[in-house]
Amino acid sequence: MNKLINSPQTLLADALRGVAAAHRELSVDFENRIVFSTASREGRVALVSGGGSGHEPLHSGFVGAGMLDAACAGEIFTSPTPDQILAAATRVDTGSGVLFVVKNYTGDLLNFEMAAELAQEQGIEIATVIVADDVAVEDSTWTAGRRGVGTTLILEKVAGAAAARGWSLEKVHGLAERVAHAGRSMGAALTSCTVPAVGRPSFDLPEGEMELGVGIHGEPGRKRVPVMSAAELSNALVESITTDYNFGGKPVIALLTGLGGTPLIELYAMFAEVSDRLNERNIKVARSLVGDYVTSLDMAGCSLTLVAADDEILDLWDAPVNTPALRWKD
């Protein structure tokens, strides 16, 4: 498999150098592998997230004014370590406390939990929100629970706006929990992905087949099915999500993310169908994002996220944001 890398061992470090070179408004701690925002934090709550690398732009692409204060980058598909997360929390805390945004994977939970214990010992107030929005994980009692995927970025945007408005840690945390509970995702893969250090696809997927309910780490999905058309797949994704969650007439923020190896033209073809499927169900798309936002290296496929919104969430969503991957003004 041909890759644009120097070596698998230096890929993360090289990419962080690239982030620093491309985004002078950010500050990169190379030793601890943390991307920091240089936006003012004076006395407000700070947001720290992070996770395994390979999902770019998540999380470093969402660092900046109105969103994350710091993103800790782990090795590819491997969570960051407690000392990294602690270093991030220590630097961004202004005394108002820090919200950890954690995707529900065993490694992330354990490392953020250890980091929270260490930070609290140092007198830093920590609150943690866990995103577990992947409806593909059906049996959440007998598994590690639902994975955290696309809702993460919507939550980071909304909670980041609330922190920027000076909300207390308790209020930002409450809002983040609300968004986490109102979001659902479902994805499908047309190919596996290739972890650079391994050099071959993580699973075999024959021509003409797809994995429905795939995760974002090259782990196979729940079901292997013949490849569907955009119309069929959009129906399957929307059906899985709306069967799981009753949107009850609320408008949604919709995110259709590519997984890293799907052209934008296919994503737009998919989104046209998704939009029709939602219209048929009387679910109004209030805001939408289409593109590569939560990826899985070079995996072909997509993941749909719907978050039930209200006026407050939409107002926070519309607030200005200035990060490498999400940027708008009032």
Partner 1 sequence: MSDSLTMDAIQQWLHRFALEITTQADWLTELDSAIGDADHGTNMVRGTGAVVAKLNGGATGTVQELLKAVGMTLVSSVGGASGSLYGTFFLEMGRNSPSGEQLNASELEKALRAGVDGVVARGHAAVGDKTMVDALEPAVTALYQSLANGLRLHDSVAAAAAAATTGRDSTEPLVARKGRASYLGERSAGHIDPGAASSAILVAALAATVGEGTAQ
The residues annotated with a catalytic role in the active site are 55, 217
Q: Is residue 70 within 8 Å of residue 88, measured between CB atoms?
A: yes
Residues 6+ apart with CB under 8 A from 2: none
Other CB atoms within a 10 A radius of the CB of residue 139 amount to 9
Is residue 4 a contact point for partner 1 (CB under 8 A)?
A: no
Residues 6+ apart with CB under 8 A from 4: none
List the one residue from 79, 96, 152, 303 that touches partner 1 (CB under 8 A).
79
List the one residue from 37, 49, 60, 78 that touches partner 1 (CB under 8 A).
78
Is residue 313 a contact point for partner 1 (CB under 8 A)?
A: no
List the one residue from 61, 64, 66, 74 that touches partner 1 (CB under 8 A).
74
- Measured from the CB atom, the residue of 8 and 174 that comes closer to partner 1 is 8
Q: Is residue 95 within 8 Å of residue 89, measured between CB atoms?
A: no
- The letter for the amino acid at 289 is L
The percent of the chain in helix, strand and coil, each rounded to the nearest 5, is 35, 25, 40
The one segment of 79-87, 227-235, 255-263, 304-312 that binds partner 1 by CB under 8 A? 79-87
Is residue 203 a contact point for partner 1 (CB under 8 A)?
A: yes
| Residue 294: alpha-carbon gap to chain centroid | 5
DSSP strands (E only) in 154-218: 183-189, 209-212
Stretch 252-281: interaction string toward partner 1, x if CB under 8 A: ------------------------------
Stretch 211-240: interaction string toward partner 1, x if CB under 8 A: ----x-xxxx-x------------------
Residues 128-167 that bind partner 1 (CB under 8 A): 136-139, 142-144, 147
Structure tokens given for 18: 């690239």
The one segment of 103-111, 231-239, 258-266, 285-293 that binds partner 1 by CB under 8 A? 103-111
d(CA 186, CA 190): 14
Residues engaged in binding partner 1 (CB under 8 A): 52, 74-84, 105-107, 110-111, 113-114, 136-139, 142-144, 147, 195, 197-198, 202-203, 215, 217-220, 222
